[in-house]
């Protein structure tokens, strides 16, 4: 490159290089921009393959010209450091930004400009873009599944109640703080279960009974994820302790259990809960499909949680165990007061990641015939009145999942940072 350009940009010819370089870069972007949005070709006078790569060429020269080390101009230095370090770097920058400019209008027109927002049936979708009317019409189904429309208030109230009870811990003072673990580990799950059982399932207090296979949509995603989370954590905790136990039988049972669940796909576990598990029960005893599915997911994820917690237990220095013992504490007391609080703190990000995986695994309940939000979008796309709108449904479901998971993963990352700085 250096041989081609007779000017060697440096601080002495900054005054020439910077304006010329900036102008060339501007020109190259203008060319692409006009090309994409107005379908014009400003460089029509240049023919042949050169025409196609002209913006790239201009941009490269421009970037070369403004690549001046220690120019004294703060913004230029930052610019060079971030996206204009060397020729290869500059090329990547140009290709990426050009591609973004090229792709943008296609996305924009499909998502917004040519999309349809008003109306209440498929005929309203006349534009070439997305048909968001579909989402609007099916919104209630995507959120509540096949739950009877007149009864939806029951789901809303249950969720509000559960959230309110969940926030309980925030308003507690020092006095009751020590009971908080007990509250979240025992009372809260039972409370949540009672709410769901009586309010969402119904059948008592003059509430119509709604069988679980009518539940669905996002609310089912939440119900499944919530209960699976609640159950998998204590199970995982005991498995992790069991795997590090000195008792041979306990250890091998834990190892066997953990490795079994980690070795099989969740889908086969759900198959098992659907077709085999009923055979294992005394005849006449029937456990609801949803309950079986939740237990299957909880057991499956518990094995992963156990491995995460084990990592935390292993990371603790031996001195902690010895110190606890020298204080005369027994196994349970030392674990409860000394070991677990420290070990769990280390592995909070790992636990959060497992929970994240659990949330992403909930759509698999489709194998037992339960349709949460992904399943509902998949069902809705086969509805005769709304054929051919698969894309919109998946994007909607994807958006919701992305929001949930992104927030969760960012939260766990910030926790990770916070924890690592504390140590």
Partner 1 sequence: MIKSIKTWILVGFASLLLVACGQGGGGGSKKSKTLDDTKKAGFVKCGVSQGLAGFSNADESGNWSGIDVDVCRAVAAAVLEDAEKVKYFPLSAKERFEALKAKQVDVLARNTTWTLTRDAELGLTFVGVNFYDGQGFMVPKASGMKSTDDFRAGMSVCTNIGTTTELNLADFMARKGLEYKLVGFEKADEARDTYGAGRCDAYTTDKSGLAAQRTVLPNPDAHIVLPETISKEPLGPVVRQGDPIWEDIVRWSLNVMIEAEEYGINSGNADSLKSSDNPAHKKILGVEDDMGIKLGLDNDWGYRIITQVGNYGEVYKKHLQDSGILPGNRGANELWTNGGIIYVPPLR
Partner 2 sequence: MNNKNKKYLLQSALILSIVSLFIFFATNAQINMSNRGLQFGFGFLNREASFDIQFTLIEYSRSSTYLRAYLVGLLNTILVAFFGIIFATILGVIVGIARLSKNYLINNLASAYVEFFRNLPLLLQLFFWYYAALRVLPLPQDAGEFFFSSYLTIKALYLPALRWENFYVFLTLFIISIFLIIVTKFYTKKIQEKDGTQFPIFLISVAILLILPSLSLIFGFSSFSIEKPELLKLSETTYTFEGGLEIPPEFIALLFALSLYTATFIAECVRAGIEAIGKGQKEAAASLGLNPNLVLKLIVMPQALRVIIPPTTNQYLNLTKNSSLASAIAYPDLALVFAGTALMQTGKAIEIVSMVMFTYLLLSILTSVLMNWYNKKQQITEK
Chain residues that interact with partner 1, rule: CB under 8 A: 146, 148-149, 193, 197, 201, 203-204, 209, 211-214, 274-275, 278, 281-289, 291, 295, 368-369, 379, 381-382, 384, 387-388
Quick one: 46 or 204, whose CB is closer to partner 1?
204
Q: Which of 403, 289, 296, 418 is nearest to 356 (CA)?
A: 403
Q: Rounded to an integer, what distance in angstroms lies between the CA atom of residue 31 and that of residue 170?
A: 57
Q: Smallest gap, in angstroms, from Cβ of residue 364 to partner 2?
A: 6
Nearer to partner 1, 97 or 213 (CB): 213
Distance in angstroms (rounded) separating the CA atoms of residues 423 and 407: 25
Q: Which of 122, 40, 117, 362 is nearest to 219 (CA)?
A: 362
Among partner 1, partner 2, none, what does residue 409 contact (CB within 5–8 Å per kind)?
A: partner 2
Residue 277 C-beta: closest distance to partner 1, Å: 9
Residue 217 has a CB neighbour count (10 Å cut-off) of 26
Quote the DSSP letter at residue 131. Answer: B
Least distance to partner 2, CB of residue 12, Å: 26
Minimum CB separation from partner 1 for residue 214, in Å? 7
| CB of 393 vs partner 2, minimal distance in Å | 9
Cβ-contact 274, 347 below 8 angstroms: no
Alpha-carbon span 393 to 375, nearest angstrom:
10
On whether the CB atoms of residues 58 and 28 are closer than 8 A, the answer is yes
Radius of gyration of the chain (CA): 30
Site for partner 2, rule CB under 8 A: 81-83, 85, 89, 92-93, 96-97, 247-250, 253, 259-260, 262-269, 271-272, 275-276, 279-283, 356, 360-364, 366-367, 374, 377-378, 381, 390-391, 394, 397-398, 401-402, 405-406, 409
> Of 352 and 380, which has the nearer Cβ to partner 1?
380
- Can you name the residues that pair with 216 across neighbouring β-strands? 371
3-state DSSP of 309-366: HHHHHHHCCHHHHHHHHHCCCCHHHHHHHHHHHHHHHHCHHHHHHHHHHHHHHHHHHH
CB of 204 to partner 2, least distance (A): 30
Contacts of 93 (CB under 8 A, 6+ apart): 63, 83, 84
C-alpha to C-alpha distances, 43 to 25, 58, 196, nearest whole angstrom:
15, 12, 66
φ/ψ region of 127 (left if φ > 0, alpha if ψ in -120 to 50, else beta) reads: beta
Binding site partner of 118, from partner 2, partner 1, none, Cβ cut-off 5-8 A by kind:
none
331 binds, among partner 2, partner 1, none (CB under 5 to 8 A by kind): none
Residue placing its CB nearer to partner 1 in the complex, 160 or 287: 287
Q: Which is nearer to partner 1, 4 or 285 (CB)?
A: 285
Q: Which is nearer to partner 2, 192 or 228 (CB)?
A: 228
Minimum distance from residue 361 beta carbon to partner 2 (Å): 7
Angle, vertex CA 356, rays to CA 143 and CA 132, nearest 5:
30
CB of 275 to partner 2, least distance (A): 4
* Partner in contact with 93, chosen from partner 2, partner 1, none, beta carbon below 5 to 8 Å by kind: partner 2
Between CA 30 and CA 34 the distance in angstroms is 6
From the CB of 266, what's the least distance to partner 2, in Å?
8
The entry of partner 2, partner 1, none near residue 45 (CB within 5 to 8 angstroms by kind) is none
- Of 164 and 276, CB closest to partner 2: 276
**146, interface contact from partner 2, partner 1, none, CB < 5-8 Å by kind:** partner 1
Which CB sits closer to partner 1, 213 or 342?
213
Strands (E), 42-157: none
* Contacted by 402, from partner 2, partner 1, none: CB < 5 to 8 Å by type: partner 2
């Amino acid at each position: 490159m250096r041989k081609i350009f007779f000017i060697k940009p440096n601080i002495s010819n900054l005054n020439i290089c910077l304006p010329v370089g900036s102008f060339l870069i501007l020109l190259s972007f203008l060319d692409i921009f006009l090309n994409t949005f107005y379908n014009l070709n400003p460089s029509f006078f240049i023919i042949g393959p050169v025409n196609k790569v002209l913006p790239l060429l201009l941009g490269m020269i421009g970037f070369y010209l403004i690549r001046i080390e220690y120019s004294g101009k703060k913004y230029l230095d930052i610019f060079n450091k971030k996206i204009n370090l060397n020729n290869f770097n500059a090329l990547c920058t140009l290709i990426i930004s050009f591609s973004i400019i090229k792709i943008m209008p296609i996305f924009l027109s499909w998502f917004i400009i040519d999309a349809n927002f008003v109306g209440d049936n498929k005929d309203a979708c006349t534009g070439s873009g997305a048909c968001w009317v579909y989402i609007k019409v099916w919104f209630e189904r995507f959120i509540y599944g096949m739950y009877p429309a007149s009864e939806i208030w029951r789901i809303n109230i249950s969720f509000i109640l559960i959230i309110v009870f969940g926030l309980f811990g925030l308003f507690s003072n020092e006095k009751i703080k020590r009971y908080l673990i007990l509250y979240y580990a025992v009372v809260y799950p039972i409370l949540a279960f009672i709410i769901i059982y009586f309010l969402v399932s119904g059948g008592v207090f003059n509430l119509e009974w709604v069988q679980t296979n009518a539940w669905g949509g996002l609310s089912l995603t939440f119900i499944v994820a919530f209960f699976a989370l609640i159950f998998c954590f204590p199970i995982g905790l005991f498995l992790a302790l069991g795997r590090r136990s000195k008792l041979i039988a306990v250890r091998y049972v834990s190892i066997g259990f953990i490795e079994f669940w980690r070795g099989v796909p969740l889908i086969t576990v759900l198959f098992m809960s659907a077709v085999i598990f009923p055979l294992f029960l005394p005849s006449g005893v029937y456990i609801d499909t949803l309950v079986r599915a939740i237990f299957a997911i909880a057991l499956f994820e518990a094995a992963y949680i156990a491995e995460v917690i084990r990592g935390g237990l292993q990371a603790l220095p031996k001195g902690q165990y010895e110190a606890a013992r020298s204080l005369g504490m027994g196994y349970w007391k030392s674990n409860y007061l000394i070991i677990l609080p420290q070990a769990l703190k280390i592995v909070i990000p790992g636990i959060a990641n497992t929970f994240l995986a659990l949330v992403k695994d909930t759509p698999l309940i489709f194998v037992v015939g339960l349709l949460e939000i992904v399943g509902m979008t998949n069902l809705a796309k086969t509805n005769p009145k709304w054929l051919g709108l698969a894309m919109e449904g998946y994007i909607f479901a994807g958006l919701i999942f992305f929001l949930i998971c992104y927030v969760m993963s960012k939260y766990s990352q910030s926790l990770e940072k916070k924890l690592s700085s504390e140590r």
